[in-house]
Amino acid sequence: MTDDCTTVAKLRGLVAEFVAARQWECYHDPKNLSMSIAIEAAELMEHFQWVRSEELDQVLQDGDRRAQIVDELADVACYVIALTNVLGVDLSSALAEKVRKNALKYPAEKFQGRYFKPAD
């Protein structure tokens, strides 16, 4: 299963099957899932806490550490997908709409190579 040949629908089905097989639907309400996203995001951030910018490449080249980071990233994605399932949101449409809004908010010609708003 790789990004090249996997649809969001397939991922949604995978997560839904996992949840249903354990009868965890009762725990998967929007409050719990949104909190779980934040908790897993914090676990992801822990791997970078106190790491200086110049040390990031070294951290990411450490096989064990990278595997743990990927694991936490997948945890975040699992909960995002689970919340998508619970809310009945079309994630692809929502993401495309957000990118469209961000493109208007941050026009490429004004934000080329910078994340802050230039002085008018």
Can you list the alpha helix ranges (DSSP code H) found in the chain?
Answer: 8-21, 30-46, 56-61, 63-87, 91-105
Closest contact distance (angstroms) between CB of 38 and Mg ion is 12
- Nearer of residues 11 and 37 to Mg ion, judged by Cβ: 37
* Residue 90 interacts with Mg ion (CB under 5 A): yes or no: no
Instruction: Write out the binding residues for Mg ion, residues 19-78 only, by CB under 5 A.
Output: 40, 43, 72, 75
Q: Which residue is nearest to Mg ion (CB)?
A: 75
Pair 59, 65: CB distance under 8 Å: yes
Closest contact distance (angstroms) between CB of 43 and Mg ion is 4
Closest contact distance (angstroms) between CB of 36 and Mg ion is 9
- Nearer of residues 15 and 40 to Mg ion, judged by Cβ: 40
- Nearer of residues 66 and 98 to Mg ion, judged by Cβ: 66
CB atoms within 10 A of CB 83: 20
Number of residues in contact with Mg ion under rule CB under 5 A: 4
- Nearer of residues 27 and 106 to Mg ion, judged by Cβ: 27
- Which CA distances in Å does 109 have to 7, 34, 75, 95, 112? 32, 34, 35, 22, 6
Q: How far apart are CA 62 and CA 111, in angstroms?
A: 33
Residue type, 44: L
Residues in touch with Mg ion (CB under 5 A): 40, 43, 72, 75
